[in-house]
Amino acid sequence: MSTAVASPAERLTAIRARIAVAAEQAGRTSESITLIGVSKLQTAAVIAALADLGQKDFGENYLQEALEKIESLRSRALTWHFIGQLQANKTRPVAENFDWVHTVDRLKIASRLAEQRPVHSPPLSVCVQVKLGDEATKGGVLPAELPALLAAIAALPRLRLRGLMALPPAESTLDRQRYWFAELRLLFEAARQRHPTLNTLSMGMSSDLEAAILEGATQVRIGTALFGERLQSLA
C-alpha cells in the first residue's frame, strides 16, 4: 500500500511542531525562532501556497532562479534570504533584491553589498558564515579571523550586521550535532561582547534543527522536510 504524500500544510504543521518541542526543551518560545523555507528548485506557485499558510521567510541558493521568483511574488511582501555562496560579480542583484544575506565570509563581498544596496531600501541584514570543520567544499571565515571581519563589516554603511551562520559537518547523533552548534554559539557569544546588537544564529536544517535550537538557533533553514524531495530543475 502506497503512503500518501503529505500536503504543504501538513509538512508546515509538522515542522512547526518540531520547532515548538525543541524550543520548549531549550526553555525558549517557538516565536523566538524564525523558520526559513529553503525554496531552491521550488516553483513560485509552491512558495505562494506556503505563503497563504503564513510562511513568510524563504531562502534561495541560485541567483537567477531566485530573482524570477522574487519578481513574480513581489506583491506578497515576503522576506527573502540569500543562503548560497556569493560571487563578487553577482553582488548587485542580491543587494538590490534580497532582505538578508547569510553567507558573507570576506570583506570584499560585504563591501560590494554595502556599495550596491539602494539608498531607498532598508539596510541589508547580513550574517557572517563561519567555517566549522575542514570540509573544502564549504565556505566560511575561519574562527580566528572572525573578529576582524566582524569589526570591518560593522563599520560599513547600508548593512546591518545581524549574527553568524554555519554549515557544520553532517553528524548522525544529537550529541555530535550539538557539538558543532555549540562551537558557533560560543563564537557568537564572544562576538556579542564587542557587537551587542548581534541577535541572529542561523543554523540547523531538516536533519538537525533540534540540536541547533537546543544550542540557541534563532533561524533554522528547512528545505526537504518542508517541501519534500527537490526537483532536479525547474525546467
User: What is the CATH number for 42?
Assistant: 3.20.20.10
Tens digits of residue pLDDT in 13-45 = 999 999 999 999 999 999 999 999 999 999 999
Please answer whether residues 159 and 114 qualify as being in contact, where contact means their C-beta atoms are separated by less than 8 angstroms: yes
User: Would you say residue 232 lies in a domain?
Assistant: no
Which residue in this structure is represented by grid cell 541572529? 200
Could you tell me the pTM of the whole model?
A: 0.95
By C-alpha distance, which of 220, 225, 217, 178 is closest to 28?
217
Q: Is residue 233 part of a domain?
A: no
- Residue 219: count other Cβ atoms within 10 Å of its Cβ: 23
**Does residue 2 form part of some domain?**
no
- Taking the C-alpha atoms of residue 107 and residue 84, their distance in angstroms, rounded to an integer, is 17
**Does 46 map to a domain?**
yes
* pLDDT tens-digit series, residues 135-145: 888 899 999 99
The tally of domains found in the chain comes to 1
pLDDT-based confidence at residue 2 (cuts at 50, 70, 90): very low
For residue 84, give its domain range: 8-227
Is residue 235 very low, low, confident or very high in pLDDT (cuts 50, 70, 90)? Answer: very low
In this structure, is residue 166 part of a structural domain? yes
Domain contains 162: yes
| Residue 1 placed within a domain | no
